[in-house]
Chain A
Amino acid sequence: MFAHRQIILIAALIVGGGQALGQAPSEDSYDYFRLNCSSCHTIGGGDLVGPDLKGVLDRQERDWLIDFMLDPAGTIDGGDAYAQEIFRAAKGQYMTKIPSLDRAKAGAMMDLITHESGLEKSVFAGMQLSDRPLTRDDEKLGRKLFLGQAEFAAGGPACNSCHTLVDLGGFGGGRLGPDLTSAYSRLDGRKALSAWLSAPPSEVMSPVFADHPLEGDEVLALVAFLKHAAASGEMEAESLTMDFLLASFAGAALVLILLDLAWRKRYRATRRPLLNRTRAGKATR
């Protein structure tokens, strides 16, 4: 882990030095942006959940941006006027704090954004996903992928391990992550949701999906399914949790009854009264 940090630090220094000489940012920086930033930001492709970062250094000081990246919620809640403004523009969504981000890496990201902003078209100008209309087949595939009945090509886990959604059937989906019924409307539709799914940035999801990214068709299928779900209404998660609880308690009661039956010849009904009578000094014969 330590060696890994050092490598990144050295990489960041090389990137920093390279910038001065007009060299391109390192491959590591591109990977880091793709994994941690591209799900909410484009460079020259318009706003997603977060603002388009093209020319961001013309709009704000480098040091302010780095401080903000290191503690987004703290800066916003601290009352900084500019932070409040971008917070409102993002419809009240806090920027995710990235655990692995440090000052050197934040600096490397600034260099990468500067470099990419100067290009005619950045590789981060927008998703390379198709704009084709979403079909009923997409929706069906999305449901299967969500439930795990169809596998993700790169081996990522099924959504319902951690998320539930309206109309999943049975006891619904997992409860580790949020209910995704309103994800489509919360993320403001197809474009931002697709970007989000292409590199899930949440702290719980990013380590799991870093090596198992979703493919373009899979993203579109899930978007179609989530769009359908958003139109269907509210989730009844609490009543499903209660059903699950009752079923489990019934199962526990059944197991206790079975244990009692399995040991029905144990030391009790006949033998314990016999022993008690003997102890009380009465004849047992």
Chain B
Amino acid sequence: MNDFLLFVVLPYLALGTFFLVTIQRYRQRTFSYSSLSSQFLENKQHFWGSVPFHYGLLFVLGLHLAGLFIPNAILSWNAEPARLFITEITGLAMAVVALVGVVNVIVRRFNFSKARRVTTTSDWVIYLLLVVQIGSGIYVAIYQGWGSSWFATNAVPWLWSLFSLQPDVSYIASMPLSVKVHVVNAFLLIGFFPFTRLVHVLVVPNHYLWRRTQVVLWNRDRRRIRQAK
């Protein structure tokens, strides 16, 4: 019964909330779609938070999506142990990079009064969910290793059973606790996503991932301004 709640009801609730609220929010409060960056308030520690977090997480998320949509391609790639090791080491390395990022983000938000002042409760909740998500993922990668293969064979069929409206929890029901924590927390994140500033992920084009860095130059003449007084 608990399995039914956690692995059928929760995913449907989370996905339903995700789609309905993101669309409703975009239609009614279009300009709330923003990352509400605090880079302007502090940009030294910001680099070691934001940059590793984003690139680490996007890479790992990409691997999960590849497993979901092209599981057989992943399994064929992993059929040679050397390639499997490349997938696993790269995946774990990028997860560690993402963890370094999110920890820096949290420390910075906590330590800088300006940044702390613009941090809302929903931000703190999302940070907690992200730490649990990345932390449990790293734990699973180490202690239940080669998830790039068994995700494709054991978890993906369950996810597709949800998408095809014929939920079958037998695939996931007997997974270790760490895997269940990772899965349940993922759906909590998905459900909470539309109420937070994470929505900026959805605003295309996400050209800030590959555009050149912006440099703000001050070109006013401070002396002339002083003399004019």
CB distance from A72 to the nearest CB of B (A): 15
Taken together as a complex, chains A and B put the C-alpha atoms of A247 and B86 apart, in Å, by 10
Q: How far apart are the CA atoms of A175 and B148 in the complex, in Å?
A: 12
As a 0/1 sequence over residues 52 to 83 of chain B, the CB contacts with chain A under 8 angstroms (1 = contact) are: 10011000000000000000000100111110
**B43 shortest CB reach to chain A, Å:** 6
A133 at the interface (CB under 8 A from B): no
> Cβ of A169 < 8 Å from any Cβ of B?
yes
Given the known interface contacts A170-B85, A241-B142, the answer about A252 and B94 at a Cβ–Cβ threshold of 8 Å is: yes
With CB as the reference atom, state the residue of chain B lying closest to A246: B89
Identify the closest chain B residue to A156 (Cβ). B153
Q: CA–CA, A168 to B82, complex, Å?
A: 11
CB-based contact A175/B143 at 8 Å: yes
Q: Are A175 and B145 in contact (CB under 8 A)?
A: yes
**Is B111 in contact with chain A by the CB < 8 A criterion?**
no
Q: Indicate if B144 sits at the interface (CB-CB under 8 A).
A: yes
A99 touches B173 (CB 8 A): yes
List residues of B (166-188) whose CB comes within 8 Å of A's CBs: 166-168, 170-171, 173-176, 179
Are B93 and A204 neighbours in the complex by a CB distance under 8 Å?
no
- Report B-chain residues with C-beta under 8 Å of the C-beta of A134: none
Give the contacting residue for A158; candidates B145, B149, B154; CB below 8 A: B149
A20 interfacial contact with B, CB 8 Å: no
**Min distance, Cβ B183 to any Cβ of chain A, angstroms:** 14
Instruction: Give the CA-CA distance A248 to B94 in the complex, in Å.
Output: 8
* Contact in complex: A266, B47 (CB < 8 Å): yes
**Are B100's CB and A162's CB within 8 A?**
no
Is there a chain B Cβ closer than 8 Å to A231's Cβ?
A: no
Taken together as a complex, chains A and B put the C-alpha atoms of A249 and B92 apart, in Å, by 8
Q: Chain B residue with minimal CB distance to A268? A: B44
Q: Mark B157-168, 1 if CB is under 8 A from A, else 0.
A: 100000000111
* B residues 5-50 touching A (CB-CB < 8 Å): 43-44, 47
The B interface, classified by DSSP as helix, strand, loop or mixed, is: helix
Q: Are A251 and B100 in contact (CB under 8 A)?
A: no
B81 near A147 with CB under 8 A, answer: yes
A208 to B85, CA, bound (A): 23
Instruction: Tell me if B94 and A255 are in contact (CB < 8 A).
Output: yes
The CA-CA distance from A109 to B89 in the complex, in Å, is 47
Contact status A174-B149, CB under 8 Å: yes
* Contact call B79/A148, Cβ cutoff below 8 A: yes
The distance from the CB of A69 to the nearest CB of chain B, in whole angstroms, is 18
Supposing A160-B81, A252-B94 touch, asked if A203 and B174 sit within 8 A by C-beta, the answer is: yes
Q: Which of B97, B150, B179 is the one whose CB lies under 8 Å from A255?
A: B97
Which residues of A have CB within 8 Å of B52? 255-256, 259
B89 touches A157 (CB 8 A): no
Complex Cα distance, B45 from A266, in Å, reads 12
| Chain A contact residue count (CB 8 A cutoff) | 46
Instruction: Tell which of A158, A250, A259, A272 touches B44, judged by Cβ atoms closer than 8 Å.
Output: A272
Q: Is the CB of B93 within 8 A of A176?
A: no
B93–A252 touching, CB < 8 Å: yes
Q: In the complex the two chains form, is A208's CB within 8 Å of B153's CB?
A: yes
Q: Which residues of B contact A254 (CB under 8 A)?
A: 93
Give the contacts of A237-285 with B (CB-CB under 8 A): 241, 244-245, 247-252, 254-256, 259, 263, 265-268, 272, 278
The answer to whether A161 and B149 have CB atoms under 8 Å apart is yes
Q: How many angstroms between the C-alpha atoms of A278 and B143 in the bound complex? A: 52
The interface residues of chain B lying within 8 Å CB-to-CB of A202 are 174
Interface flag for B191 (CB, 8 Å) = no
B88 within 8 A of A: yes
- Least CB distance from A204 to B in Å reads 5
Residues in chain B within 8 A of chain A (CB atoms): 43-44, 47, 51-52, 55-56, 75, 78-82, 84-85, 88-90, 92-94, 96-97, 100, 141-147, 149-150, 152-154, 157, 166-168, 170-171, 173-176, 179, 213, 215, 222
Q: A: which residues have CB within 8 A of B? A: 1, 99-100, 147-149, 151, 157-158, 160-162, 168-171, 173-176, 202-204, 206-208, 241, 244-245, 247-252, 254-256, 259, 263, 265-268, 272, 278
Instruction: Return the 9 tightest CB-CB contacts between A and B, nearest first.
Output: A251-B93, A174-B146, A203-B174, A161-B149, A252-B96, A248-B92, A157-B153, A148-B79, A175-B145
Question: Would you list 9 pairs from A and B whose C-beta atoms are within 8 A, ordered by A residue?
Answer: A100-B170, A157-B75, A158-B79, A174-B144, A174-B149, A208-B171, A249-B96, A256-B97, A265-B213
- A99-B174, A149-B79, A247-B89 known; 11 other A-B pairs, CB under 8 Å? A148-B80, A161-B146, A244-B92, A244-B142, A249-B93, A252-B96, A255-B93, A259-B52, A263-B213, A266-B47, A278-B222
